[in-house]
Structure 1
Amino acid sequence: MLASSSNTASSVNTASVWRGKGLWGAVVVVFATLLAPVVAAVLVYHLDSFDPSPIPLQELSSVAPVAASMVNDHMLEGAEFLGKGQLEGPEDIAYDAKSQVIYTGCRDGWIKRVTVNESSAEAQVQNFVNTGGSPLGLVFGHNNELIVADASKGLLNISEGGAVELLTDGAEDLKFKLTDAVDVAEDGIIYFTDASYKYDVHHAVWDFLEGRPYGRLCSYNPVTKETKVLVRDLYFANGVAVSPDQNYVILCETPRRRCRKINIQGEKKGEIETFVDDLPGYPDNIHYDGEGHYWIAFPWGIAKGWEMAYRYPFIRKIRALLVKYVGRPNMEKNAGVFVVDLEGKPVAHYYEPELSMITSGIKIQNYLYCGSIKYQFIIRNNLDQYPAHHSSYK
C-alpha cells in the first residue's frame, strides 16, 4: 500500500509538472504571436530608409483656422455632375469666354472640351488633345492658346489647332518633377509652380510625408524663352494666380494651409508676404473671378491625423510605412472651395463632409464649377439657388 501510494503521488507530481509546462508553452506561443508583429514593425520602422524631416517651429501654428461668415456646408445639395463617366479626374478648369467652352485636363492625358447647357446638367464632351503626360493646371494665353502645367512633361503651349509645344521642363539645371499650376500676366509672363522637384505626380503623398520644402515658383518669358526660379524652398507649391493689378502672385502651399503673396512689381518687388494663413483646409488651385474674389479649392478640410503627422516626424514615418506596405488610408473629407477677397479676408466657404479631392473651383456667371483628381465629372453649383448663408460655424 505504501509503495502504491508513493507511485501514485509521483504520477500526480509528474502530471502537474507537464501541465505546468503545457500552460507555460501556451503562454509563450500566445506572447510570441502577439509580440512578433510588434517586433517586425519596430524592425521595419528602423530599417526603412525613409527619413521624414522635423518641421521648423516657425512653420507650425497653434492658431485656430480662419472662418468665413457665409457657409454652405452641403454643397452637393442641388449639385449637377457634368460629363459623368467621360472625364477621368478633371484636375483644373479653364474657361474660354469666347466659345463658352470649358477645358479640363484629365489623368489619362486628355485635355477635353466641355460644352455646358445652363438649363440642364447635360454636357457635350469632346477630346481636344492628349499630352501623353498628366495635364494639371490650365490657363488661356493672350492669343487663345492653352498654357498647360503638365506634371510629367513640363510647361506646354497648345495652339487652337491642337499643336503641342514644350516651353520649358526645368530651371537652374534641375528638371521639373511635378509641374502643377499656372497663370499668365498681362505682359505675357507665365507664372507656374514645380510642386516638388523630388517626387512626381504619382508619389506626391511622399512629399507631404517627408516634410521638406522641395517646391518652387517659376516664371517663363515667351519672348526671351527664359525660365527663372522666383521662390525656392516651398512646401508643395501648388495653385498660382496673378493679382488683377498685376503687382503680385498668390501661391498656395498645400501642407502649410496657407497662401503667400509674392510681389512681382513695384517697390516691394521680390518680397514675400502672407496673403492668408491658417486656412480651414489644404489649398490646391486658386482662381480669380474678375469680381474681387479668389476661389481656393480644398482637396480636404483640416484632419487631425494630418495635423498630428505634420508636427511629429515619427507619425509621418508610420503613415509612410502604411502607405508603402499596406495602402494609403482614406482620411480626406470636407473638401470644397474657400472664397477670400483681394486682401485675403474670408468671404464664403462651400464644402461637403463626404466630398474629397476637390482640386479646383472657378466661378463662371452664377455657377461654381469644381474639378477633382478623384471623380469622373465636374461638379456644378448654382450659386443663386444654393448660396452660402450666414453661419456660426467654426
Structure 2
Amino acid sequence: MMLSVKYVLIHLALLSFLASCVHNPMYTSQLASSQNQVKTLLYEDMEYEDRIKTVLFYPMGTSPNSVLNPPVVNRKEPVPLVLEFDDLGKNYANYYVKLYHCNANWTRSNYTDLQIVSDFNETLISNYSSSINTKVRFTHYSFVVPRVRLSGNYLLVVYRNGDQSDLILSRKFIVFDPMVQIKDNVQFATDVKERDTKQQVGFTIGFNSTLDIPNPQDVTVMIRQNYRWDNAVVLRQPLYIQFDKMQLDYNFFDGQNRFNGGNEFRFFDIRNLRMKGMNVAQYATTDSSNTVYLVTDRNRNSLTYSEQIDINGRFVVQRFESDNPSLEADYANVYFQLQTAPDFEGDIYLAGQMTDWRLKPKFKLEYDSISGTYIKNILLKQGYYNYQYCLVHKNGTDWNYFEGDYSLTENFYDIIVYYRPPNQFNDMVIGYANLNYRGRAR
C-alpha cells in the first residue's frame, strides 16, 4: 500500500531536518560525544558507536558474493578474512585491531598473544579511503586479518588510537583444523506435531587413531542456522558412542537438535537510487540526502508458504554503474512500514545481519497514528538487503511471530565441533561442516 500524500510530506519535512544534521556541527558534536561514553567489551558482534556503519566480515574471494560467506576459515588453507566498515564523518582516525582467543562458550582462553599470532598482536588499520561523490560523507576502512597459529573461536576487536578501552567494534570468527569427518543430514522434524514448522539437524562425527578422544564428553558441538549465534544449539554429549567405528552419533529424536523453520526473508533493493528497485514504493532525494520508502509489509504468519530466493538474512553493498561500491555507494534513510492488527502485547523490532541479530533500541518500530502502521527509519548503505520483523514480549522473543514457521523454508546450517584435550584448559575446533537445506528438494 502506498503512503498517503499527506504522510509522505510530513516525513519528507522531518527527513530534510534529519539529513541536514549529517553535515552540521550539532551532528558532529553528537558523534564526538559518543566517543566519550564508557564502553564495555562484549564477546559479541557489536558496534560501540553509532557512527560505525555497514560492517562486513568475510573470507577473501574473487566473487562479489564472497561477502555472504561466514567468517570461518580452515587453518591449513591460506584464505584470509577481510574486515570492512564505514566511519561516518569527514575525519580519519587511527584504528587498531587485536585478536582474542576464546573457548567454546566465548569466554577468554588462557593463551597468550605469542601463542596465537606470529607478530605483535596490535595492528594499525592502514587501508582507508574517503567516500567519493556521496551525500553522506564517510571513511571506509579495510583490514586483512593476519593468520593465527591455533584453531578455535576468536574475537576481533577494533579500538581507537591504541586505547583498548575506546572500543569501536567487535566481531566473532572461527578457525578450524579438519581433524574429524562430519556426515550431516537436515530433514523435517520427526515429531508429527512439528513436521510442518520445524527442521531437524542430525549428524555423526568420525575420528581416527591420530586424534585421541578418550572421553567424548570433552567434545562440544554447536549448530547454527543461517550463521546466527543468538539461537545456536549446543550439544554437550552424543546420543551414541561407537568406539569400534570411532564415531559419535548426534541423531537425536527428543527435539534438542530442532530449529524453527522460519520463512524466506523479506527483501528490498536500493542499488539504484534513481529507479525503484524491488519492494521500493517511493524515492525522495535532495542535494544533501536520500530517502527510500519501502512497500508496506504485512503479517505473513497465516499465509501459505511461498518459495522465493533469498540470502538468508544477510546484505550485500552494491551500487549500479559503479566499479567501487565500497566508496561510491551512498547512504539513504530507509523507511520500514509494517501493517498488522494490534492483537499482540510487546514491541516490534527489525532483525537480520544489518542489526547483528541483536535487539537494539534503534531498530524498534513505533506506531504511527497517521498511517495506522508501525514504522522505523534506518540509515543504510546502498545495496540488497534481507530482513524480518520479530516480537519482543515479557516472556522473551518470538522471532517468527510476523513471519510464520515452515519446514519447507530454505536455510543454511553449519556444525562446529570443539574439543578440549585431557589436562587442557582451552578449547580447539577440530571440525566444521555446512549444509544448504532446501525443503522443496526433499
TM-score range, shorter chain: under 0.3
TM-score by length of 1: 0.23
Larger relative helix fraction: 1
Task: Compare CA radii of gyration and give the structure with the larger one.
Answer: 1
